[in-house]
A and B are shown apart, each in its own frame.
Chain A
């Protein structure tokens, strides 16, 4: 998968490129809109990450040009402007998604995956998960480790399901708040709610067993994976 990253802030560009490459993408980074536009004409990309505050020509103008030329490549805007009006302008200009700086890298990666998945034929959502000796059957709402059935509340179950869908990848508290708790406002004090809920889930799925699966990544969030 090839990603074009148009961003003039070198620190952000470097960090995001590193994370994308680590995730297995091939990344071309450029600092000006003109160069990005030129590259888009001459090479094939699967996705464009576009900063809005660019020197000379704004990201919105670049985006309008991209769409005017009929390029269908998905575009994800990265910007520090977060008002509703700015979002509307960005999406109307032809963007597919919108992320406000500062963003959490895991969330950016999740959105990139979602955009790349889009358009492809979606398989039926997974109903059965298996990680080490943890087995989850979503349709039966049953989770077990080995032979032992785990008694989970509804919230704990949907939390576990979400972590399993992102197995091996770190999910941030913002992602959990939005996707599991469906909390749209960013000012609701939900972080300790999430922490407590994760701790309870861990108590049930990890504490009684020697092989730990649910890990806290300090400063970012949580990950469900088997430690080698």
Chain B
């Protein structure tokens, strides 16, 4: 089961980590403390053994005795707690002090016990008392004696329990405090995020021009705000495009529909000869063709927008493409007694979708022929541009001697359905989509297209594409 919100989750994490840290700390503190106390007892025992050794003596009857009068403070804790026995190395008990009474300090010694230094061991006496014992071999009157001395660890255990108890008692209090603090810290940290969410919520489809404030562009929140702003900009852009597109498209689609309807109605209202009826039906079919073309172009473009059109990239010569385009529209130019001139010092190979690029060139060329007056010349030049991004670029210029394009129209002529002259809308096949498709096709292939006024009159369409260079083939001329 996961907590619902980030705030609770963060607090929970915080408290868990804090709690684990505390428990580790308590364990370490207890171990350290235990080790310190034990070594204190050990040191005291070593001192005591050394003292006791000096006080032991053999009585004339051969019994071992201890000179107790030595101590200034016979009530000393050390003395009172001391448990001591003295054995021969083979285990015969020579002496046991009063504190020890009838108990023994670990029974028979093992071979070599206490021979080197002080042998330390923790053990339990017959009545259950836990003690810390040290053994040491000492010679008195030439006889080796094993002296065993022990203190009870009851008090040490008691102190340890006390310490751990106090620490464990404090744990819930510490955790509660941590929970409270964590909850408030996360709330403060998340507050700007909630604020951001509230502001974003207020921006709707009708208020897309609004942006979120970016207080500190370098921190995480600033980053989120910038990302959201970018998203909003793109959203606004596509909404605007959609709005313009819908209004343009509805105009373009309604015109042939209106024509279809009125021609049909006219046909049904009067009495006509069969030839006239054929003409009426033919005229309606022409509108249908126009509508069909437009719907197809629109579908192509919306697929292109949605990224559904896949480019079939291949390497091919631009000059060949230009020649194909010319071959296609040549007959139109010929009809208007126009010349198509090609000027190219060298050819270029581009990596692109041949069909789309061909269509782009044909569309531009077709436009040039269409809008140029009778007897004029359309000039096509192919030249090399300075390298960009480490790649060579080529420039294809298509220049006509038409009426030219006004400055305010130049950027827009590549928009869908845009027409410089509203009156021209009845051209067959033209729905103001040709240049839009051309622009899309060129951009999709990594190039760009724009229009400039030509030196004398008319316009130049400039198509730039990254390319490879083919060796100079001399002046190519058509």
A interface residues with partner B (beta carbon < 8 Å): 82-83, 102, 155, 181, 183-193, 195-197, 200, 217-220
Task: State how many angstroms separate the Cβ of B430 from the closest Cβ of chain A.
Answer: 7
Bound together, the chains give a CA A181 to CA B335 distance in angstroms of 18
Residue with the highest number of chain B CB atoms closer than 10 Å, among A155, A200, A218: A218
Besides A189-B363, A200-B335, A219-B281, 12 new A-B residue pairs in contact (Cβ under 8 A), listed by A number: A102-B292, A185-B359, A186-B293, A186-B296, A187-B297, A187-B300, A187-B359, A189-B429, A218-B286, A219-B282, A219-B283, A220-B285
B328 in the interface, Cβ–Cβ < 8 Å?
yes
In the bound complex, residues from chain A placing their C-beta under 8 Å from that of B284 are 219
In the complex, which residues 424-470 of chain B have their Cβ closer than 8 Å to any Cβ of chain A? Answer: 428-430, 433-434, 437
Question: From A101, which residue of chain B is reached at the shortest CB distance?
Answer: B292
In the bound complex, residues from chain B placing their C-beta under 8 Å from that of A102 are 288, 292
Task: State how many angstroms separate the Cβ of B249 from the closest Cβ of chain A.
Answer: 16
B68 in the interface, Cβ–Cβ < 8 Å?
no
Indicate which residue in B279, B288, B293, B299 contacts A218 across the interface (CB closer than 8 Å).
B279
Question: From A156, which residue of chain B is reached at the shortest CB distance?
Answer: B331
Question: From B427, which residue of chain A is reached at the shortest CB distance?
Answer: A192
Bound together, the chains give a CA A155 to CA B293 distance in angstroms of 25
Question: From B308, which residue of chain A is reached at the shortest CB distance?
Answer: A83
Q: List 12 A-B contacts (CB under 8 A).
A: A82-B299, A155-B331, A183-B328, A185-B355, A185-B358, A185-B359, A187-B296, A196-B331, A196-B332, A217-B282, A218-B279, A219-B282
Contact status B278-A189, CB under 8 Å: no
Task: State how many angstroms separate the Cβ of A190 from the closest Cβ of chain B.
Answer: 7
- B contact patch SS: helix
Bound together, the chains give a CA A102 to CA B285 distance in angstroms of 12
Contact status B359-A190, CB under 8 Å: no
B interface residues with partner A (beta carbon < 8 Å): 278-279, 281-286, 288-289, 292-293, 296-297, 299-300, 303, 308, 328-329, 331-332, 335, 355, 358-359, 362-363, 366, 428-430, 433-434, 437
Indicate which residue in A188, A200, A217, A218 contacts B328 across the interface (CB closer than 8 Å).
A188
In the bound complex, residues from chain B placing their C-beta under 8 Å from that of A155 are 331
Bound together, the chains give a CA A196 to CA B430 distance in angstroms of 16
Question: From B285, which residue of chain A is reached at the shortest CB distance?
Answer: A219
Contact status A218-B283, CB under 8 Å: yes
Given the interface contacts A82-B299, A196-B335, does A188 sit within 8 Å of B285 by beta carbon?
no
Task: State how many angstroms separate the Cβ of B314 from the closest Cβ of chain A.
Answer: 15
Contact status A189-B366, CB under 8 Å: yes
Question: From B366, which residue of chain A is reached at the shortest CB distance?
Answer: A189
Question: From B303, which residue of chain A is reached at the shortest CB distance?
Answer: A83
In the bound complex, residues from chain A placing their C-beta under 8 Å from that of B299 are 82
Contact status A188-B359, CB under 8 Å: yes
Indicate which residue in A181, A188, A189, A197 contacts B430 across the interface (CB closer than 8 Å).
A189
Contact status B362-A189, CB under 8 Å: yes
Task: State how many angstroms separate the Cβ of B202 from the closest Cβ of chain A.
Answer: 40
Contact status A184-B355, CB under 8 Å: yes
Contact status B282-A197, CB under 8 Å: no
Given the interface contacts A218-B283, A219-B284, A220-B285, does A193 sit within 8 Å of B328 by beta carbon?
yes
Question: From A84, which residue of chain B is reached at the shortest CB distance?
Answer: B310
In the bound complex, residues from chain B placing their C-beta under 8 Å from that of A82 are 296, 299
